[in-house]
């Protein structure tokens, strides 16, 4: 049984390996090596719950195996259990102080938790264990930049770039740090290096366009975006950057064709949910599911959410009412596509994906919570569903409403863009192209605002 399991596992046939692992582990439940391999096969086949169960069994069987704790950290982190992941990585690093990857991943988990000073300390330990750990240096640079220390971040990113030669992600981080420090010529040169290193990296192009706009070279920014879009016409990051640059050029009609807020931003009201007596019962179930989800945590500054909580992907089992919500999204996406019609002029429409998957997460805002303007870089279409809305949204000033059109804080712009605001209501779903900037108008309330955001992510 073990031979069959390992043979399938090593060949990448994880679904076929699982039944053999199950049978073997019933007879040898304390085989730590087999438990770790089985957990990897389970994780690769979207059975994270099974993977966690086997890794916890391995941990009980041998509480001094650093690899078990490291694997436990990887799976926990992937499903948004960042506190559990940090604890597991910390234990792995404690058991093996030279385990550079454990220190590094501990740093990434602590970054996701917003514990930035602790994250830097973990990255430093990774670098001490492995002086050539360029990823740890790059991640340290990211944290320093997040802390508002752009010159320190640039210095660390520079060291990472000398190790990870031609790594566009590192060069983009270096460019952003230089831009934050006001060293715009150096930033533009660095982003150009990133483009040369990886011409198909959208973040390199979009950041180059952003700094060109800041330098007053908006026409050059549009041209840079167009070169990329000739090969990747529906890329979210670059379309967003181009929309900002076009607006700076005064090309109102071109902006409207690209970011048609009246046509593309689509509210859909749901009166029912599969398996529920009414939309009110569904909303109550979604609110409870979000509030009690094990991954719900105070959002770190790396997220768009401010003064609120954010969950990891809700499509991970057990789904609860999310299973019904997935069907509601499917209906909404179908209706959205039908409304677009056959017009193939806008690249967003012409290049809609044939296959896609969903990412779903909850946002819980209390007190003074809000979301800064942002886009969803990895998706084609995005949306938000309102399960619970505070009464303040009915007052004057449009507090708590969702606004589309104004670029995010990392963009540099001066020309006022067109915007559109929509009032949230329980049962309302709003769909929009993922490159559309959107934010929440800040509000103050003793009531809680619960929304469920989602992405339609293209699949190859």
Domain span at 378: 262-458
pLDDT at 351: 87
The mean pLDDT value for 216-225 works out to 98
Q: Structure tokens of 146?
A: 């997040």
How high is the pLDDT of residue 358?
Answer: 96
CATH number at residue 386: 2.60.120.620
Residues in contact with 224: Cβ distance below 8 Å, sequence separation at least 6, in sequence order: 195, 205, 208, 209, 212
Q: Compute the CA torsion angle 248, 250, 251, 256 (nearest 10 deg).
A: 80
**What is the overall mean pLDDT for the chain?**
95
Q: In angstroms, how far is CA 148 from the centroid of its own chain?
A: 22
Stretch among 71-75, 132-136, 289-293, 349-353 having the lowest mean pLDDT: 349-353
Output the pLDDT for position 339.
87
Identify the pLDDT of residue 116. Answer: 96
Q: What is the pLDDT of residue 303?
A: 77
Same domain, 11 and 74: yes
Four-residue CA torsion sign, 93, 99, 100, 101: negative
Contact 241, 435 (CB under 8 A): no
Instruction: Examine the domain organization and report whether 232 and 289 are in the same domain.
Output: no
Phi/psi for 266 (5° steps) reads -125, 105
**What 3-state DSSP class applies to 447?**
strand
CATH number at 80 reads 1.25.40.10
pLDDT in tens, 13-24: 999 999 999 999
User: What is the count of structural domains for the chain?
Assistant: 2
Cα–Cα distances (Å) from 177 to 198, 325, 362, in that order, read 19, 40, 31
Show which of 235, 253, 271 is a domain's final residue. Answer: 253
Compute CA 59 distance to the chain's CA centroid, rounded to the nearest angstrom: 30
For the chain, give the percent of residues with pLDDT over 70: 99
Specify whether the CB–CB gap between 352 and 430 falls below 8 A. no
- 220 & 280 share domain: no
- Asked if residue 290 and residue 392 are part of one domain, the reply reads yes
Reported as type and span, the H/E element at residue 227 is: helix 218-229
- Encoded tokens for 152: 């320190």
Looking at the fold, whether 133 and 33 belong to one and the same domain comes out as yes
Q: Tell me the longest C-alpha to C-alpha distance in the chain.
A: 72
Residue 350, Cβ neighbours under 10 Å: how many?
Answer: 12
pLDDT in tens, 431-441: 999 999 999 99
The answer to whether residues 170 and 69 belong to one domain is yes
Domain check: are 403 and 314 in the same one? yes
Q: Is 63 helix (H, G, I), strand (E, B) or coil?
A: coil
> DSSP class of residue 393?
G
Residue 352's pLDDT is: 87
CA distance 443 to 308: 12
302 pLDDT above the threshold of 70: no
Rounded distance, CA 303 to CA 440, Å?
13
Whose CA is closest to 93, among 108, 112, 114? 108
Please give the model's pTM, rounded to 2 decimal places.
0.92
Q: What are phi and psi of 394, to 5 degrees?
A: -90, -5
pLDDT, position 366: 82
Residue whose tokens read 């053999």: 20
Tell me, yes or no, whether 334 and 197 share the same domain: no
CB-CB contact of 153 with 134 (8 Å): no
**Angstrom distance (rounded) from CA 315 to CA 85:** 19
Residues 179, 33 share a domain: yes
As a whole number of angstroms, the distance between CA 283 and CA 321 comes to 9
Q: What is the pLDDT of residues 317-331, one digit of tens each?
A: 889 999 999 999 999
Report the distance separating Cα 175 and Cα 214, nearest Å.
Answer: 13
Q: Residue 343 pLDDT > 80, yes or no?
A: no
Instruction: Summarize pLDDT for 241-279 with one digit per residue, the tens.
Output: 999 999 999 999 999 999 999 999 999 999 999 999 999
* The domain boundary residue, chosen from 234, 253, 272: 253
User: Tens digit of pLDDT for each residue in 168-200?
Assistant: 999 999 999 999 999 999 999 999 999 999 999
CA 394 to centroid of chain Cα atoms: 31
User: What confidence score (pLDDT) does residue 22 get?
Assistant: 96
Q: Band of the pLDDT at 344, cuts 50, 70, 90?
A: low
Q: Are residues 303 and 417 in the same domain?
A: yes
Specify whether 44 is located in the same domain as 96.
yes
Among 253, 288, 320, which residue terminates a domain? 253
d(CA 89, CA 95): 10
User: 184 and 122, same structural domain?
Assistant: yes
| Cβ–Cβ < 8 Å for 386, 400 | no
The β-bridge relationship of strands 428-433 and 381-388 is antiparallel
Q: What is the pLDDT of residues 391-433, one digit of tens each?
A: 999 988 899 999 999 999 999 999 999 999 999 999 999 999 9
pLDDT (tens digit per residue) in 136-169: 999 999 999 999 999 999 999 999 999 999 999 9
């Amino acid at each position: 049984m073990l031979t069959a399991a390992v043979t399938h596992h090593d060949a990448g046939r994880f679904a076929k390996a699982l039944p053999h692992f199950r049978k073997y582990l019933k007879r040898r439940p304390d085989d730590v090596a087999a438990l770790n391999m089985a957990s990897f096969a389970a994780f690769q086949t979207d059975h994270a719950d099974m993977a966690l169960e086997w890794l916890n069994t391995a941990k009980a069987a041998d509480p001094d195996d650093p690899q078990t704790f490291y694997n436990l950290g990887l799976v926990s982190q992937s499903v948004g259990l960042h506190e559990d992941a940090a604890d597991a990585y910390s234990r792995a690093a404690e058991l093996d102080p030279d385990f550079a990857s454990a220190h590094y991943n501990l740093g990434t988990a602590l970054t996701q938790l917003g514990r930035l000073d602790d994250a830097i300390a973990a990255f430093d330990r990774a670098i001490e264990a492995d002086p050539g750990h360029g990823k740890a240096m790059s991640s340290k640079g990211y944290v320093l930049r997040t802390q508002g220390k752009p010159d320190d971040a640039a210095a660390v990113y520079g060291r990472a770039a000398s190790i990870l030669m031609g790594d566009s992600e590192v060069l983009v981080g270096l460019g952003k740090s230089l831009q934050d420090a006001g060293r715009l010529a150096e930033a533009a040169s660095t982003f150009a290096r990133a483009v040369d290193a990886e011409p198909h990296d959208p973040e390199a192009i979009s950041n180059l366009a952003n700094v060109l706009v800041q330098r007053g070279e908006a026409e050059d920014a549009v041209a840079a975006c167009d070169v990329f879009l000739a090969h990747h016409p529906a890329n979210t990051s670059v379309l967003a950057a181009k929309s900002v640059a076009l607006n700076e050029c005064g090309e109102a009609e071109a902006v409207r064709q690209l970011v048609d807020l009246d046509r593309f931003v689509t509210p859909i009201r749901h009166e029912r949910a599969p398996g529920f007596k009414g939309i009110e019962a569904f909303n109550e179930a979604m609110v409870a599911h979000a509030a009690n989800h094990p991954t719900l945590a105070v959002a770190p500054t790396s997220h768009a959410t401010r003064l609120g909580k954010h969950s990891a992907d809700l499509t991970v089992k057990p789904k609860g009412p999310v299973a019904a919500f997935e069907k509601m999204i499917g209906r909404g996406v179908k209706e959205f596509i039908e409304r677009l019609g056959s017009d193939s002029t806008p690249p967003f429409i012409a290049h809609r994906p044939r296959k896609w998957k969903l990412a779903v997460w909850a946002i819980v805002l209390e007190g003074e919570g809000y979301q800064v303007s942002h886009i969803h870089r990895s998706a084609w279409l995005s949306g938000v569903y309102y399960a619970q809305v505070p009464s303040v949204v009915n007052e004057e000033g449009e507090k708590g409403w969702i606004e589309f059109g104004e670029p995010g804080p990392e963009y540099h712009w001066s020309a006022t863009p067109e915007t559109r605001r929509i009032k949230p209501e329980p049962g309302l779903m709003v769909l929009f192209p993922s490159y559309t900037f959107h934010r929440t108008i800040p509000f103050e309330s003793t009531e809680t605002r619960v929304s469920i955001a989602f992405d339609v992510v293209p699949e190859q």
